[in-house]
Chain A
Amino acid sequence: MCGIVGLFLKDPTLEPMLGDMLTDMLVTMTDRGPDSAGIAIYGAETNGNAKLTVQSDTPDADFSKLDNDLRKLVKGKVEMSTKDTHAVLEMQADQLDIARAALSNLRPNVRVMSRGDTLEIYKEVGLPKDVASRFDVRTMSGTHGIGHTRMATESAVTTMGAHPFNTGPDQCLVHNGSLSNHNSLRRRLRRLGVHIETENDTEVGAAYLTWRMQEGSTLGQAMESALEDLDGFFTFVVGTKDGFGVVRDPIACKPAVMAETDQYVAFGSEYRALVNLPGIETARVWEPEPATVYFWSHNEAPTSKEKAA
């Protein structure tokens, strides 16, 4: 099963409530998968800075003086804020790669959850309500976000196997379904130099989209070609810095419902996830068509302009 949700705000006055609304939506989907949960939030612009969200099973030891150690390495400002097992490291965007490369020596047990200008990902084994409260997701504001609650099929129940997956700057993806050609595609992508962390099928789907966009595709084009190259079942919700997209495989047996008003575009595995959104009674509610790419952006001209960073 798995439950997925997404919320893209058009009305900036709702931004302070994004974390709260998205948490409610995800908690409603808990019975679609109790194994792990995760939320990706696109927060405030960081003005030339970028954020690395990292995780450790031993946060006290690993996060102690991590900002100091990184500061010496990148020779610049590094701000760290910790929440439970996660820490967000903010630094100059052009120093992020140096910091990420250094991390594996500096703190071998620290894993990267996400990187990007505005994106933060929080994910752990456990129920959505527990994961959301550990990371205080309800208080987070942002422009858009996606969430996932997992019923594991293709790989182990671990933090690294939890969704959303981040495979390129400010990109993330959640998935309901299972990919059947992920092993061969992973080998192909790794040969092409694409970084893939886990043996999870969904990460391959995310990495595939990232690779396509690095090759010059827009997100819309990358999702179109995913319909050709990915074998298996999928309903994907994809986030980028400016927007979010939805695509389902041609069989479309994994459920999906969308709602749109003047204030937001929302996605849920089921209508239940959407029932508490403001104005849902009068929203346009529909089921996304199979093999059809949907995309919304905060940019003026959405899909055609949406490029990988």
Chain B
Amino acid sequence: MQSFDLEAQGLRALNSTLNAQSTETNQTVWEVTNPKGSHAIAVGLDAPIEVNVKGSTGYYCGGMNKQATIHVHGSAGPGTGENMMSGKIIIEGDASQYLGATAHGGLIVVKGNASSRCGISMKGVNIVVQGNIGHMSAFMGQSGNLVVCGDAGDALGDSCYEARFFVRGSVKSLGADCEKKEMRPEHIEFLREIIAESGVDAKPEEFTRYGSARTLYNFDVDNAGAY
């Protein structure tokens, strides 16, 4: 295992070292110590490596990630996993606002709570939260799945497209054009797999599905007065 002291060696050195790892690297497991809430830890990775961050991170940890597994042993700041393409981010603590914003793929797991705007404009990522999520989550979500084992805040899925939202607890309010949907066998099957992969504590049958009512897809002249 490779160890990297962020405080001593600096952020640029960390990210350029991690960015230099290729798919054939032998140095597959990394440990980052003294993160102390620093911004942009392990961004832009593109190799099947595992990065264990021993503490809490600041803005944009794991942004644009491809292939890598990033494990934050603490809480994560705003914009964690922004625009992730593939790979995995696991956060042992809480995640701040706009977790996984615009992310195209991969899996993000939060063992604590996620804050407001979780999965905003998600484009294919899967996000699993053991606790609760804040308001305006999955705003304009386009594709992917948001699985919440706790409660969701106000305006879940506002103006969403084809992303799916599974909530086990209560939803404070649904956003515009977001509605409750039926749970079909394929949804139970999907949840069974992703719960197992994420290691969260929940049963697939306990969830309710929400998604787009698809009434905002086309302009409706009756709404002209609202503009």
Contact = CB atoms under 8 A, between A and B. Distances in A.
B204 interface: no
A309 interface: no
Interface residues of B, number: 17
A287 interface: yes
A179 interface: no
Contact of B75 (A250, A253, A271): A271
Interface in B60-89: 75, 77-78
A223 to B, nearest CB: 19
A286 to B, nearest CB: 7
B94 interface: yes
A165 B75 CA distance: 32
A98 to B, nearest CB: 48
A287 B77 CA distance: 10
A275 B36 contact: yes
Contact of B115 (A273, A285, A287): A287
A270 B37 contact: yes
B116 A290 contact: yes
A272 B116 CA distance: 20
Contact of A255 (B75, B93, B96): B96
A252 B97 contact: yes
B111 interface: no
Contacts of A274: 37
B38 interface: yes
Interface in B10-62: 36-38, 56, 58-59
A202 B92 CA distance: 37
A255 B115 CA distance: 11
Contacts of B75: 271, 285
Contacts of B36: 272, 275
A273 B77 CA distance: 12
A303 B90 CA distance: 38
A286 B56 contact: no
Interface string A269-309: 01111110000000001110110000000000000000000
Nearest to B56: A271
Say what secondary structure dominates the interface of chain B.
loop
A62 to B, nearest CB: 42
A290 B77 contact: no
B135 interface: yes
Nearest to A287: B115
Interface string A127-141: 000000000000000
A253 B115 CA distance: 11
A272 B135 contact: no
A157 to B, nearest CB: 25
Contacts of B38: 272
A92 B29 CA distance: 66
Given A255-B78, A270-B58, A270-B77, A275 B37 contact: yes
Interface in A222-275: 250, 252-253, 255, 257, 270-275
Contacts of A289: 134
Nearest to B96: A287
Interface string B106-119: 00000000011000
Contacts of A270: 37, 58-59, 77
A275 B34 CA distance: 10
Interface in B154-192: none
B119 to A, nearest CB: 16
Nearest to A272: B37
Nearest to A286: B94
Nearest to B75: A285
A250 B58 CA distance: 22
Interface of B: 36-38, 56, 58-59, 75, 77-78, 93-94, 96-97, 115-116, 134-135
Interface of A: 250, 252-253, 255, 257, 270-275, 285-287, 289-290
11 contacts: A253-B97, A253-B116, A271-B75, A272-B36, A272-B58, A273-B37, A275-B56, A285-B56, A285-B75, A285-B94, A290-B135
6 tightest A-B contacts by CB? A271-B37, A272-B37, A275-B36, A271-B56, A287-B115, A275-B37
